[in-house]
Structure 1
């Protein structure tokens, strides 16, 4: 697939500006055009606004048009006219046929999410498995009655009734002891899965939101961890279950004890006190009903609400990852998701303004098409499984027998890089640009197999995946242990303890790749906030450009040998090209006078070429 000759627009600063209530939109058209129009919708009717030609750079004409910003969301696409041919340009790409509004570019009105997010990187920690207070390895003698104690070197079972109760004894003080490792790796956000008391080591079945689990060290340990992280220039994000509580939660116990209580309205009772709706039918996770105004007040509305309390005060956390965000406020015919997420986002802005901070991040878990849930001022970003994780898996996996696709018995699909690009463009077309850039690119999470297992233990393919997550729009997201090559066949089995005492067995080559690539992203503004322009894709490669304010970064990713690829980049200054390459498998030939560069590959690898 060749994209270099396609017209291009994205939501980056090179293409979008806002002036006096209008959006100023710029389109890059290789070879020029007879006319370019922005197509917007006014009162249900499509309207075309003609753009003016604003100059030519390197053989491409730039067109500029101003359109009025609509309340909440401004949707638009472009018609590029050449003779009798119309090319429609939307967020999915260029099309020679009519398209629907579904893939339109979208600008969201209102205050933007925190600016720091687009330049950051995230390190996910499952507290029970990261580090203990000390270097002990044996099962802990002191443990709650529900727990199944494990030695630090034990492998999680991965399934069965004991899976959620396996107790390895990691703590927040243990996390604090290991912050130097995160600093050396180059990550900037420490994301903790839930820290509230529960009857599992997952802690998604919270028994209260008012304190940190004493097994993790309590409130004191979280404050000290947050303080230590802040002193290193890092931020801390925690995990909140807006969709449900645990069945041992103080709210639910009150609700069962008193059908006339406010708390009884927090849940969906079908036959009080023991008939109620659990998340996906799980009785230990009673689902919350946001038709209750009192629930909204206690969860996020009041000054002492759950959400507010942990974002304020000394050594507060810097944001929330929202568990099961796609199901929050939804049950049967009831759909309050947009309303609730908008109220949460507004409340977080109020808290940020009151404390004088630079904003807190609201990240939504979403496994599937997140687009419809993001076309308003709500979730800042999503865990982009559909637009990054699964497309990259489908390309780079080696068909490991133990890894399954989604929640089926089917094996992982094997597709080419070109199909992965199609999938990313289709899925991400539904996300407004500001949502895409405030989302995360994960190769593994605590809910998935480890990427190292997905690629069959191949460190070269692993490194290609890391290069993708660092160079595509969105924040790189590293699940603790990925950087040293930990494996795991599914979400449970992948939650293996960090082998601090066996560091001689770490894959140092993979650790170096993570460190180098995260540092490169930190050095290049175009990789953090620049636009994305696809150039080429085939079964074994994908090639694209990130650009911002004159800085051009060419990225070529390959999983194996492919025919030579020529990328015509008049805006890539050959005299100032620096190349970050993975081994010698992928090579870039110096640009000629016309700016053309040649790219070849003999095996898995990447080239990241930095121009002016």
Structure 2
């Protein structure tokens, strides 16, 4: 049987690499080496648009080096899958996807692992202030209090305020495990304003705020009124002052939009009637908000987010709700806050928002020249299926990027799960798959993290090992996408799952200056090196005397490169080019690794 070669990550076999824009030519090539006396009958590319029938395309024999080639222009945006079919005088075989862009020849087409091709309509906006910057995520109640003597404003009924900011977060629940007393520390917008010099010194250029709108809880994902800032957090004048001062410092602000659900105790639902004359959906079917919700049994049984009755889900296909959130009128929710001068939005549970709803949000943001629209999607966003629907996040007309939770998984895998070079290769190839699947601008807009309000703190995940925490930050800052620091991680704040991961920032009690100094250096290094902001990604795995060392390589099409070497162990490593394995790197970039290298315990070396 003929020997057949294909590698989707090698320009010999596919050009261009990765996702393509509509009407852009794509070239596929195979190398086919028949056995003696074996005749090639045909070589076909089998291309399938998601949900449609297979379409075969014949590859032409180029009559040199065993190469067969086909050129196509893809005219419709969306997700495509492909494999190859080859028939010779010895029979028929198929070429399916394997790890790292490689292909494997199989005899049956059942359950083929197909290659993916992402085709997009247009490049997404990629403002330099965002893509070349560093983001800092703040949970408003837990960062800083800027009022005199730490006064707590806007106190809520049926809640408690901690005796000191050093107290650990704690929920008071009833017998049904429902939270009945929300806890607060008193962080506010004035506190963030007061700490801008700290963030500026750290090198932060953008703040991403967890929700700030009126709600009953401390996390504010149970919105009570989209048009009001929670008085515990501040008021509209506080927000305007914060934005003004941030812009003076060339810093930018991204708000959290929670449009999938609201709080049970909101003006829209008003389950307990606490909003007086305002008639919520749970009070009357005549309420202007009644059609926003899906009642199973009125008024006590209704569709809620993941079955949490405190969070009634809204019908995003409701025209009145759409108009309220992103309508053309300046009275819509988005328009109101866009007019304050904010710089973008992060969208909570984006995979629960219909595509037409996301496109409506994008249209509103474009009309206000707001170019950042980051969706909370935890997986590969190019092929995400939610509620039995393939989500077309990467075609260019909705999200401009997503949160980089796969980056966090990659970092944890490298620092916690690696036992051999094969482990590293597996994790690196899995991560590189995103670079192939995402359009380039979408990929570089990814908001990467090693911790958020929804995860354990990185210090806790890595068992309080500062060497590993520092390596985690090094990996984060050297990968494509925009690095995002979860408040307090830079000073070694610990924390298990929610609510422990939402401790108050330990002002004046920071225990770890080593981590923050390293983070400052990484921020400065990234700002000064365009390859770390815009470059392509590849890896080198070099086998040393212990667990292999890893180089995160960033490079451009002109042949410029930077090798960021990481020793992932406590042992001294001596590595050489002869022992290097290269992943997704062109030959001219591979040649930059020419000399033996020594890495001390946990060392990070830039070449």
Q: Specify the TM-score bucket, using the shorter chain as the normaliser.
A: 0.7 to 0.9
2:289 alignment partner, SS class? helix
Q: Is the 8 A contact 2:539 2:553 kept in 1?
A: yes
User: How has the CA–CA distance of structure 1 residues 480 and 467 changed in structure 2, closer, same or farther, with 3 Å as cutoff?
Assistant: same
2:39 paired residue number: none
1:455: how far off?
1.2
1:126 paired residue number: 139
TM-score, normalization by structure 1? 0.77
Distance in 2 between the 1:28 and 1:536 partners?
27
**Quick check: 1:566 aligned with 2:563?**
no
Q: Is the 8 A contact 1:126 1:193 kept in 2?
A: yes
Q: Is the 8 A contact 1:92 1:428 kept in 2?
A: no
User: How has the CA–CA distance of structure 1 residues 486 and 433 changed in structure 2, closer, same or farther, with 3 Å as cutoff?
Assistant: same
1:524 paired residue number: 529
1:215 alignment partner, SS class? coil
**Quick check: 1:110 aligned with 2:118?**
no
User: How has the CA–CA distance of structure 1 residues 126 and 18 changed in structure 2, closer, same or farther, with 3 Å as cutoff?
Assistant: closer
1:277 paired residue number: 303
User: How has the CA–CA distance of structure 1 residues 271 and 93 changed in structure 2, closer, same or farther, with 3 Å as cutoff?
Assistant: same
1:244 alignment partner, SS class? coil
1:516 alignment partner, SS class? helix
Q: Is the 8 A contact 2:541 2:550 kept in 1?
A: yes
Distance in 1 between the 2:127 and 2:16 partners?
17
Q: What RMSD, in angstroms, separates the aligned Cα atoms of the two structures?
A: 4.1
**Cα displacement string for residues 455-491 of structure 1 (whole angstroms, at most 9, x for unaligned residues):** 1222211111111111112211100111111111223
Q: Is the 8 A contact 1:128 1:201 kept in 2?
A: yes
1:209: how far off?
0.5
Q: 1:151 aligns with which of 163, 170, 175?
A: 163
User: How has the CA–CA distance of structure 1 residues 264 and 535 changed in structure 2, closer, same or farther, with 3 Å as cutoff?
Assistant: same
Distance in 2 between the 1:364 and 1:207 partners?
22
2:388 paired residue number: none
Q: 1:320 aligns with which of 345, 354, 357?
A: 345
**Quick check: 1:73 aligned with 2:78?**
yes
Superposed counterparts of 1:436-451, under 5 Å: 436-451=443-458
Q: Is the 8 A contact 1:441 1:475 kept in 2?
A: yes
Provide structure 2 residue ranges, at least 5 long, that are not aligned to the other structure.
1-5, 34-42, 63-67, 174-178, 271-279, 385-390
**Cα displacement string for residues 504-559 of structure 1 (whole angstroms, at most 9, x for unaligned residues):** x4422211211111222222222212212233377554334221142212233332
Residues matched between the structures, number: 541
User: How has the CA–CA distance of structure 1 residues 222 and 77 changed in structure 2, closer, same or farther, with 3 Å as cutoff?
Assistant: farther
Q: Is the 8 A contact 2:153 2:231 kept in 1?
A: no
User: How has the CA–CA distance of structure 1 residues 603 and 46 changed in structure 2, closer, same or farther, with 3 Å as cutoff?
Assistant: farther
2:553 paired residue number: 545
1:510 paired residue number: 515
Superposed counterparts of 1:271-350, under 5 Å: 271-304=297-330, 306-313=332-339, 315-328=340-353, 337-350=354-367
1:433: how far off?
4.1
1:424 alignment partner, SS class? helix
Superposed counterparts of 1:138-287, under 5 Å: 140=152, 143-161=155-173, 165-253=182-270, 254-287=280-313
**Cα displacement string for residues 27-80 of structure 1 (whole angstroms, at most 9, x for unaligned residues):** 999xx999x998755774445587999xxxxxxxxx999642422336477989
Q: Is the 8 A contact 2:536 2:555 kept in 1?
A: yes
1:114 alignment partner, SS class? coil
1:403 paired residue number: none
User: How has the CA–CA distance of structure 1 residues 121 and 230 changed in structure 2, closer, same or farther, with 3 Å as cutoff?
Assistant: same
1:94: how far off?
2.0
Distance in 2 between the 1:118 and 1:33 partners?
42
User: How has the CA–CA distance of structure 1 residues 37 and 166 changed in structure 2, closer, same or farther, with 3 Å as cutoff?
Assistant: farther
User: How has the CA–CA distance of structure 1 residues 135 and 260 changed in structure 2, closer, same or farther, with 3 Å as cutoff?
Assistant: closer
Distance in 2 between the 1:489 and 1:379 partners?
31
Q: 1:388 aligns with which of 407, 410, 414?
A: 407
Q: Is the 8 A contact 2:347 2:375 kept in 1?
A: yes
1:259 alignment partner, SS class? coil
Provide structure 1 residue ranges, at least 5 long, that are not aligned to the other structure.
54-62, 329-336, 353-358, 400-414, 575-590
1:426: how far off?
5.3
